[in-house]
A and B are shown apart, each in its own frame.
Chain A
Amino acid sequence: MAKSRLNGRCLLERAASSRASQASMEYLLVVALTFAIMVPTTYLFYNYSKESGQEITDAQATKIGRNIVDTSETIFYSGQGSKTVIELNVPDNIVAAQIIDGREFVLNISTTFGVSELVFFSAVNMTTDGSECSINRCAIPGLGNSGLKKVKIEAVDKNSVNISTV
């Protein structure tokens, strides 16, 4: 009698254990399937967004460069004493800005494959504060980091326009 009761309890325990292992196995399968979908999807979207981010930075930097050069030309041809202040949103990847030989406005942008220079050519002579110039290169430190910047462009004399951050 006692033995048959013991066998019955064993069978019940086994059935309960089997149900529990089936539930665990199902849980594991669901988790594994979720991971199998999530991991590749995350990887693909991350890579897409990384490349899109580089294209966006390039577009923003190009817009900033063209804006500064076009405004410089407009101010220069408006005559001596003309000035304006433009607001620019500098993206994270811009690491330096400089004027070379008075005609090249250069933005250095950092990408995953190295630092590239975006060069914008001006028809008018550009300059900046004398303290930032050495030989034919003038740095504009205010544009070398991200954020909202105010740039003053002023026709200081009849030969050149001065570009500085305020």
Chain B
Amino acid sequence: MGLSVKGGRMKIKSQAALEFLTTYAWAFIVIAVTISTLYYFGIFDFSKYLPQKCIFPSQLKCLDFSLLPTEVRLKLVNNLGEDIQIQSISITNDATVPISCTADATPISWAHATQKDFTFTECSGGAYLPDERVELAVSMDYFAVNTPSHPIHKVNGKINGKVTT
């Protein structure tokens, strides 16, 4: 008698445990599928909620930028107080195959307190795709025209924005 009561209680317990596991296994699967779907549609990509920005040192301040499907445009102002000559300008990013663009022909003369537009054309690779959020690093080498030995200085900037369609 006592044994059968014990056996019955054990049976109820194991049934409850199995029901619990079954219910929560389904719940787990539903949650996993939901989270995967949200991830797939980019809900968890919080970087898109950050403002679009172009960051350069204040001496060559970035005034504006645009990210077109195959083109990157940049407007900078020369706040150095000296005329400079740009020796090279390039753009890249952290992708496995970095972005590749054709930059403006150098050298470029740039008078102080003036603005200059830079255009990178034929951009490809580096996950540079319409409607995607990208982070690009711009690097520039220049020298001051009035310094006798023309020492080369490097300036790095960053563009964080969404490629327009």
Contacts and interface: CB of A to CB of B under 8 A. Distances in A.
B154 A119 contact: no
Question: Which applies to chain B's interface (DSSP): helix, strand, loop or mixed?
Answer: mixed
Contact of A114 (B16, B47, B139, B149): B139
A130 interface: no
B82 A121 contact: yes
Contacts of B59: 62, 118-119
Nearest to A108: B154
Contacts of A17: 16
A113 B156 CA distance: 7
Interface residues of A, number: 33
Interface string B37-58: 0000000001101100101011
Interface string A40-68: 10011001100100110011001000000
A20 to B, nearest CB: 12
B147 interface: yes
B81 A117 contact: no
Nearest to A112: B158
Contacts of B149: 100-101, 136
B58 A62 contact: yes
A104 B158 contact: no
B154 A104 contact: no
A58 B82 contact: no
B153 interface: yes
Nearest to B79: A62
Residue of B50, B153, B154 with highest tally of chain A CB at under 10 A: B153
Interface string A105-131: 010010111111111010000000000
A103 B147 contact: yes
A31 interface: no
Contacts of B82: 119, 121
B63 interface: no
A116 B147 contact: no
